[in-house]
Amino acid sequence: MNMEMVNQVVEAIVSGTMTGICLGFIVLGLAAIWKWFFGIVKRVVLYLFPGIATWAQRRREAKHLDEDEEEKQEWMK
């Protein structure tokens, strides 16, 4: 191996590393943007339909109460 081949290998390694780092930052940036976008969409939907939040909360509470009732029945057996 002469110096030219060594330089090509080192250059390829550095180039690959930099590409990987840049792609990683791009993916993290896209994830942050999507998280922000979904938060905005959620706020808009809750603003347009305020009854959805109370409906979902009542549904969750009812489901939680059902689970508690099942646990009580199993415990009493």
The single residue listed with the structure tokens 């099942």 is: 70
Range of the domain at 58: 3-76
Query: For the segment 8-65, what is each residue's pLDDT rounded down to a tens digit?
Result: 999 999 999 999 999 999 999 999 999 999 999 989 988 898 887 787 777 777 777 6
Answer yes or no: is pLDDT of 69 > 70.
Answer: no
What pLDDT is attached to residue 12? Answer: 95
Number of structural domains in the chain: 1
Q: In the structure encoding, which two tokens stand for residue 60, read together?
A: 């969750």
pTM of the predicted model as reported, rounded to 2 decimal places: 0.55
- Say if residues 53 and 46 touch (Cβ distance below 8 Å): yes
**Sequence-ordered alpha helix ranges (H) in 1-77:** 3-48, 51-76
Query: For the segment 17-26, what is each residue's pLDDT rounded down to a tens digit?
Result: 999 999 999 9
